[in-house]
A and B are shown apart, each in its own frame.
Chain A
């Protein structure tokens, strides 16, 4: 199983139309930009290749028109961390859920959803995790969130 930098070549070969901007800045890091509609297939591919540890899912807001979901995928046996970014439109951000592939994606997706309003399709329990329930729908981590700091 390829858990080193060659995975990026394999990944580009397998999903040539969905991968762009591949970059390998150091021995332990690799990054690429992916098509948001292919995220489950790509992750399944990586998981089959030995990248069995989803480190983190984060959202990044780039107003006025786009948002990013950033996946950090790594392995329990190798130091390579693959950073995959999927760009979403800001007015209707939605992306497929990874819960079936990585069990621990659940809470990360819930957190990203409640903070950014990025909808993860098929996430089994997409409800607020950290915020109080009355804050549902305010998306506080977006850059233009007006409630901060006055609503505290």
Chain B
């Protein structure tokens, strides 16, 4: 792995073509430009250019009060909006020196895991269209709808949840939520299992995915990726286990790993993580204590004391960190978002070299990058 692998170093020779995949291409979850130097169908060099939807979030946040930032964190990555809320909220709580109430911790875990399920479902769905399996995409989106409805029931919105609050959450569980959630989650678990079997038994699908885009554990840790692409190589790196936050200490769950590190394993990890998240939510619904779901005094005008904090959680895509520097005013002095998709996007070009054009779709989609978050 050298840095030449991420750049196109020379103009194409007469037998090669320079292909600009993007900024608008059916493969992409959002606009980015993937320059490929191809010889026939084989990729010789690849270069990823990003920044088409740069929103300047880090700069914008320096000009907003802490409570104003909360709904904006949803927009970092709309598929993991709850994770973004949560990590921001925990960072500010750490600066303020307060703890969420016990019930709020469980509620946040429930929302986080539901968010993880819906993100994985859509990620797998997009990926299956990229290997030409449109039916599976529609199945996955259908399953995702009911999960999003569950999220809507607790957070009040379907996409940008804005759920966490400093010291608590915005809403309590609606009545009869437990029975409704258990019923839906049981069905989704069964359906996802059957989809998993359907995919794993399809010979064309196996041919397209087994042994394609292989990332070994050494290379993966060298590239600095985290999340499902890393766990697919056999590394048990899950911040929920390594650095337990909220109530993950009290919950029983496995860290899903696969050994091969290819496209198939990355998707398999996500499929199994959905089952694991369902199990976590079921435990949370059983164990959730009664009590207040938010602090009695919610600090609307938040002035943390001078200091700084680096908080990270396990996003659906990997390690999501936020680095907050406070100067004692009601606005953050510096707000840095360490997105998981940024790291995975950076690791994409070296993976593509030597593969075929058709594998670009499969590999890029299996990394489950989110352009909105890469650009921020």
Chain A residues within CB distance 8 Å of chain B = 28-29, 52-56, 58, 60-61, 70, 72, 76-79, 81, 83, 99, 102-104, 106-107, 115, 124-125, 128-132, 140-141, 145, 148-149
Interfacial chain B residues near A55, Cβ < 8 Å:
310, 312, 319, 321, 338
13 new A-B contacts at CB < 8 Å, known A56-B310, A58-B334, A140-B59: A56-B338, A60-B334, A70-B336, A72-B321, A79-B239, A99-B3, A103-B222, A106-B3, A107-B346, A128-B51, A130-B50, A130-B54, A140-B56
What residues of chain B lie closer than 8 Å to A145, measured between beta carbons?
59
Query: Closest residue of chain A to B47, judged by CB?
Result: A125
Report which B residues bind A (CB closer than 8 A).
1, 3-4, 6-7, 50-51, 54, 56, 58-59, 63, 221-224, 226, 230, 235, 237, 239, 242-243, 308, 310, 312, 319, 321, 323, 325, 333-334, 336, 338, 342-343, 346-347, 375
B residues in contact with A58, CB < 8 Å: 323, 334, 336, 338
Q: A58-B336, A76-B235 are in contact. Are A131 and B319 (CB under 8 A)?
A: no
Q: A79 with B50: in contact, given A56-B338, A125-B7 (CB under 8 Å)?
A: no
Q: Which residues of B contact A124 (CB under 8 A)?
A: 3-4, 7
Q: Do A72 and B310 form a contact, CB below 8 Å, given A53-B221, A129-B51, A140-B56?
A: yes
> Do residues B346 and A106 form an inter-chain contact, with CB atoms below 8 A?
yes
Beta-carbon contact of A104 and B224 below 8 Å? yes
Cβ–Cβ contact B224 & A53, under 8 A: yes
Number of A-B residue pairs having CB atoms within 8 Å of each other in the complex: 88
Are B334 and A130 closer than 8 Å at their CB atoms?
Answer: no
Q: A55-B319, A72-B321, A104-B223 are in contact. Are A129 and B59 (CB under 8 A)?
A: no
Contact A104 B343 (CB under 8 A): yes
Task: Show 13 A/B contacts (Cβ-Cβ < 8 Å), sorted by A.
Answer: A72-B323, A76-B235, A76-B237, A81-B312, A104-B346, A107-B342, A124-B7, A128-B51, A130-B375, A131-B51, A140-B59, A141-B58, A148-B59
Contacts of A56 in B (CB 8 A): 310, 321, 323, 336, 338
Q: Which of A53, A54, A78, A102 has the most C-beta atoms of chain B within 10 angstroms of its own C-beta? A: A53
